[in-house]
Structure 1
Amino acid sequence: MPELPEVETIKNDLRGLVVGSRIERAEVREPALVEQPPQEEFVRRLGGARVTGARRRAKHLVVELDTGEALVFQLKIGGQLLLVPPVEEPEDSVMLVLSLDGGRRLLLRDQTGFSRARLLGEKELAERLSGLGPEPFSEEFTVRYLKERLGSRRAQIKPLLLDQSLISGIGNIYADEILYDARLSPRRRASSLSEEEWERLYAAIRSNLAAGIEHRGTTVRLYRDVLGRAGEHQNHLRVFERHGGPCPRCGAEVVRERVGGRPTHYCPRCQDGGGSAGDGVQLELE
């Protein structure tokens, strides 16, 4: 699933490869993709628009147009934005085709079909993004922010990391790796963390997301960049989908459980379980 590092990589690719191009025609091949405005209007308003910029907010990819509007993508589980050529045109699962000047096409492909797109004006975009928490690399995001917003909560720490209204951009893969680095059980109650643990958690959030960006994202299954290339960060994962294998830090067996309804991977020996609830544990070692 594209998280902050993957969407950041795609954004950077678009800045280098697509910004400045004119959209000559838009073709929606999967009507479920378009959430706003109605499909016919979506296609009409994209035709002739020039791409002037690309940015990311949380897991949203924002493609800026010279019309003053923004084409906003949520790539969900398996969305891929592919530039043809040089990428060979995929044969299936194409949801959107943007024909660009110069004979190129930007395709949105999603084998899961869950990707969504919106064409929004400035006020609509601001409203859409207004409920998101701070970016992990922003000045607003500090150890103090983490402690003040999360520290009084008795909720388990992993679901809080995934709450986009609290922190933008973290998904299941990076949450597991962050908690591993911070030596925290995903079941720890936020209210039980010490000052030192908040500092470790803050540092782990920033370092793991930075590493994911440096390695151009994590390809566990479907993620690809704009040129169809897999990321490299999967080669650096310590616990995510490493269940049944040894913890690289202490040698104990990495386990998979459901925490907050999400598959969660961690080392029960060296990730401190102090202050955890332990309710609803479901081991998954298959």
Structure 2
Amino acid sequence: MPELPEMENYKVLLNERIAGQEITEVQLNREKSININPAIFIKTVLNQKVLNVNRQGKHLLFQLQNGQTLLLHLMLGGWMFYGTEADKPKRTVQVRLSFGPNHLYFIGLRLGYLHLHSQSDVEKELEHLGPDPLALDFTLKDFLNKISKKHGRLKTTLLNQEFIAGIGNCYSAEICFHARILPTKDIDDINETELGQLFHSMKIVLQDALKHGGYLENPLYDGDHLTGGFYPRRQVYDREGETCKRCGDKITMETISSRKTFYCPNCQK
């Protein structure tokens, strides 16, 4: 599932390509991917300029000229491609927004969605989200205050979008590895020094992932060499049985709350 770095990467690249551009055609191949009557959806979106694309947590917000917002959550398996019909991947497309000869394809929206909302409704939809971990005003003091109210396993807390928005299965594992803390550890057993390291590791790992385009394998457009650049830089995520790059031990996988959790039993204490 795309997480904060992947969605931020999409945001930056999409703003470079469609900000200020008019939606010239709307194609809906799966009505369940939207939230209102298809005819109303098309009428509201068609011929509107995309003023900009913003991100909140794992969501993208396409701000339209008429004040409406397209709210995207890719969920598990969702991704996008921007280009001409000739460049389009041979995958099933749920929604297509056209910008003249170029199109933005929404692919793999089996669980994901592209919903149309007013600004006030978008705020209600996202009001449950916690702070953005890369926000400049999200400080160590804020983090320690929030996590002091939490109990249970660290992994579960990091995945809680009401706690912090944007961290999922991949980066929770990478952050814990960087901080040398077991994701299976109970929060009550982690001291303040370790929590401080966890906070700094969160910033470092997410910024590094963003710098390298996240871990998704599918490029956004033909010639996109940034997207997916973080995948070979993974330290533990999806590396069960492989050698730890830090100590040489074997990476372990354990299931926590139905989620695969990867860590080094030697490096992380």
Matches of 2:257 and 2:223 in 1, distance apart?
A: 33
Aligned-pair CA distance for 1:6: 0.5
Aligned-pair CA distance for 1:263: 0.2
CA deviations over 1:165-219 (Å, ceiling 9, x no partner): 0101001111100000111111111122111111110011111110111001113
TM-score by length of 2: 0.94
- For 2:33, the equivalent position in structure 1 comes to 33
Matches of 1:39 and 1:193 in 2, distance apart?
A: 50
- Compared with structure 1, are the counterparts of its residues 256 and 28 closer, same or farther at alpha carbon in structure 2 (3 Å cutoff)? same
SS in 2 for 1:98: strand
- For 2:169, the equivalent position in structure 1 comes to 172
Aligned-pair CA distance for 1:86: 8.4
Answering whether residue 72 of structure 2 is matched by residue 77 of structure 1, we say no
TM-score by length of 1: 0.89
CA deviations over 1:53-85 (Å, ceiling 9, x no partner): 011000001111100011111011222221122
| Contact 2:83 2:103 (C-alpha < 8 Å) held by counterparts | yes
Number of aligned residues: 267
- Compared with structure 1, are the counterparts of its residues 32 and 224 closer, same or farther at alpha carbon in structure 2 (3 Å cutoff)? farther
- For 1:158, the equivalent position in structure 2 comes to 155
| Contact 1:9 1:225 (C-alpha < 8 Å) held by counterparts | no
Q: Pick from 196, 201, 206: which aligns with 1:199?
A: 196
- For 1:265, the equivalent position in structure 2 comes to 262
- For 1:53, the equivalent position in structure 2 comes to 52
The correspondence of residues 1-286 of structure 1 with structure 2, limited to 5 A, is 1-34=1-34, 36-85=35-84, 88-101=87-100, 103-110=101-108, 113-219=110-216, 222-227=217-222, 229=224, 230-272=227-269
Aligned-pair CA distance for 1:38: 2.5
CA deviations over 1:70-116 (Å, ceiling 9, x no partner): 11110112222211228712333100111223x22111111x62221
| Contact 2:82 2:220 (C-alpha < 8 Å) held by counterparts | no
- What amino acid does structure 2 have at the position aligned with 1:15? N
Aligned-pair CA distance for 1:138: 1.6
- For 1:284, the equivalent position in structure 2 comes to none
- What amino acid does structure 2 have at the position aligned with 1:267? C
Matches of 1:68 and 1:44 in 2, distance apart?
A: 14
What is the aligned-residue RMSD (CA, Å)? 1.7
| Contact 2:150 2:157 (C-alpha < 8 Å) held by counterparts | no
SS in 2 for 1:12: helix
Matches of 2:129 and 2:146 in 1, distance apart?
A: 13
Matches of 1:200 and 1:223 in 2, distance apart?
A: 32
| Contact 1:14 1:226 (C-alpha < 8 Å) held by counterparts | no
Matches of 2:37 and 2:142 in 1, distance apart?
A: 39
| Contact 1:80 1:226 (C-alpha < 8 Å) held by counterparts | no
CA deviations over 1:248-276 (Å, ceiling 9, x no partner): 2222211000012200100112211xxxx
Matches of 1:153 and 1:125 in 2, distance apart?
A: 27
Q: Any unmatched runs of 5+ in structure 2? A: none
Matches of 2:85 and 2:180 in 1, distance apart?
A: 43
Matches of 2:247 and 2:86 in 1, distance apart?
A: 43
Matches of 1:32 and 1:213 in 2, distance apart?
A: 31
- What amino acid does structure 2 have at the position aligned with 1:28? L
Matches of 2:128 and 2:161 in 1, distance apart?
A: 8
Matches of 1:77 and 1:189 in 2, distance apart?
A: 27
- What amino acid does structure 2 have at the position aligned with 1:176? A
- What amino acid does structure 1 have at the position aligned with 2:174? E
| Contact 1:63 1:70 (C-alpha < 8 Å) held by counterparts | yes
Aligned-pair CA distance for 1:4: 0.5
Q: Any unmatched runs of 5+ in structure 1? A: 273-286
- What amino acid does structure 2 have at the position aligned with 1:90? P
SS in 1 for 2:24: strand
